[in-house]
Amino acid sequence: MPAAAPTTREHGGDRPTADPARRPLRAHLRAGGPALLAVALFLCVRAFSLAALAVRAAATDKSPRVLLSERWDSLWYARVAEHGYDFTVNAPDGRSLSSMAFFPLLPWLERGTRTVTGLSLPAAGLLVGALSSALAAWAVFLVVRHSYGDRAGVVCVVLWAAVPVGIVQSMAYSEALFTALAACGLLCALRERWMTAGILASLAGLTRPVGLAVTAALFLAVWLHHRAGAGGSRDRIRAVLGCLVAPVGAVAYILWVGARRGRLLGYLDVQDEWGNGFDGGWAFARFLTGGSAALAVLALLGMLLLAYWPHHIGAKQHQPPPLIAYSALVTLLAVGASGYFGSKPRLLLPAFPLLIPLAVLLARRRPALTWSALTTLTVASAVYGAYWLTGSGPP
């Protein structure tokens, strides 16, 4: 009797399918349909948000292009791309603000894009951001699908696109690039592709210091994998190498800044000059309560509870521990930083696993209810983003 043909199982289904290597092209396209749908819906949300921004900018006599690529941090990234790290600004209060506060991967990509395309640096930043956000949407879908199926993956991508500060995904900022690298790295960790996960974690660390959260998630994934006794000697070697590579990006840049500043942890001095530090959220709580210490304690406890809830629900939904560890660290570093308080929402943008519990809940509801909720959130996000960016906006 001939041996049965090798089969695989699609996620969430019970029907065996043909060996993926033998599928025709149309079958591959059909299999990738939900991912394409997720990215297409993401782009629709982004287009709607940009249209709302254009309307609001016209009403306030402002340029959408300037708002998206030539203000706040986007200016600093362009300065690094143009001048390297020999650029400082003397603030009115006497502080010396160094460009070394900004990690190098986004400026490198902006400079490379300008060289290849001939675009200006602000336009190159927008292009890098647009491509990164689309890649991030694709990776977020795959991460969520890994545990919860196609529908939850699509819903989570739309939720991520429609968060109140989602307009940042279309700016020349590093959030979209970081989320793309982080989500791809997490996906590789969940699929036990240790070396690729390590390289992506290292690149995430060259993008933002919170890239070390991806490294921590990889360490946890490797530990859980080998505690279960899975994998052979070659797998262990790849896992160790991936873990060694993962922190290299962030650590190398921090040490380079330290060498430039003449002190091992000179990067902390740079952050201190910008008014950034870590106090566990105490300064943020006092800001929210007008400086009252008693109310600040209550506010801090409330923030801890709010941060705990989605992780608790995620654990009950059997969310993979590396995702919980990653989002918990991103949340901790965003809320616990003592810097500019208006930046907190956008610093939470890469913590997409926080949205998974809601995505799973909506994915189990009737389609009419699900899409009505997502449409409402999209409209609210577009309006909020348009007013926010033409007002105080991100720092």
Tens-binned pLDDT, residue by residue, of the chain (395 aa): 444 443 333 343 333 344 444 455 455 446 578 999 999 999 999 999 999 999 999 999 999 999 999 988 999 999 999 999 988 888 777 778 889 999 999 999 999 999 999 999 999 999 999 999 999 999 999 999 999 999 999 999 999 999 999 999 999 999 999 999 999 999 999 999 999 999 999 999 999 999 999 999 999 999 999 887 776 778 889 999 999 999 999 999 999 999 999 898 889 889 888 877 776 656 666 666 666 666 666 766 776 777 778 888 888 889 999 999 999 999 988 887 766 656 778 889 999 999 999 999 999 999 999 999 999 999 999 999 999 999 887 77
Q: Flag whether 124 is in a domain.
A: yes
Q: Which residue has the tokens 């940042």?
A: 168
Nearest Cα to 248, choosing from 195, 203, 188? 203
The pLDDT value recorded for residue 337 is 73
Q: Looking at the 3D structure of the chain, how many domains does it have?
A: 3
161 and 64 part of one domain: yes
Q: Answer whether residue 357 is part of any domain.
A: no
Residues 50 and 140 in one domain: yes
User: Does 285 lie in the same domain as 263?
Assistant: no
Separation between Cα atoms, residue 132 and residue 172, nearest integer Å: 10
Q: Assess whether 47 and 119 both reside in one domain.
A: yes
What is the spatial distance between Cα 119 and Cα 329, in angstroms, rounded to a whole number?
Answer: 36
Q: Which domain holds residue 207?
A: 194-274
Would you say residue 67 lies in a domain? yes
Shared domain for 81 and 142, answered yes or no, is: yes
Q: Output the pLDDT for position 161.
A: 97
Distance (Å, whole) CA 131 – CA 179: 12
**Residue 26 domain-assigned (yes or no):** no
Domain end: 299, 319, 338, which one? 338
- Whether 42 and 93 share a structural domain: yes
Specify if 101 maps to a domain: yes
Domain-terminating residue out of 251, 274, 297:
274
Could you tell me which residues come within 8 angstroms of residue 92 by beta carbon, excluding any fewer than 6 positions away? none
User: Are 40 and 154 in the same domain?
Assistant: yes
Residue type, 134: A
pLDDT digits (tens, 9 = 90+) for 256-308: 999 999 898 889 889 888 877 776 656 666 666 666 666 666 766 776 777 77
Domain final residue pick, 274, 308, 325: 274
Predicted pLDDT at 16: 38
3 state SS for the chain: CCCCCCEEECCCCCCEEECHHHCCHHHHHHHCHHHHHHHHHHHHHHHHHHHHHHHHHHHCCCCHHHHHHCCCHHHHHHHHHHHCCCCEEECCCCCEEEHHHCCCHHHHHHHHHHHHHCCCHHHHHHHHHHHHHHHHHHHHHHHHHHHHCHHHHHHHHHHHHCCCCHHHHHCCCCHHHHHHHHHHHHHHHHCCCHHHHHHHHHHHHCCCHHHHHHHHHHHHHHHHHHHCCCCCHHHHHHHHHHHHHCCHHHHHHHHHHHHHHCCCCHHHHHHHHCCCCECCCHHHHHHHCCCCHHHHHHHHHHHHHHHHHHHHHHHHCCCCHHHHHHHHHHHHHHHHECCCHHHHHHHCCCCHHHHHHHHHHHHCCCHHHHHHHHHHHHHHHHHHHHHHHCCCCCC
Asked if 126 contacts 75 with a C-beta cutoff of 8 angstroms, the reply is no
Give the pLDDT score at 286.
62
Please report whether residue 89 resides in a domain.
yes
Same domain, 301 and 370: no
Q: What is the pLDDT of residues 116-144, one digit of tens each?
A: 999 999 999 999 999 999 999 999 999 99
What is the per-residue pLDDT for 293?
A: 65
Mark whether 203 and 142 lie in a shared domain. Answer: no
Residue 276's Cβ-side half-sphere holds a number of Cα atoms within 13 Å equal to 19
Residue 178 located in a structural domain: no
Q: Are residues 110 and 165 in the same domain?
A: yes
Same domain, 55 and 95: yes
234: in domain: yes
For residues 198 and 134, membership in a common domain is answered with: no
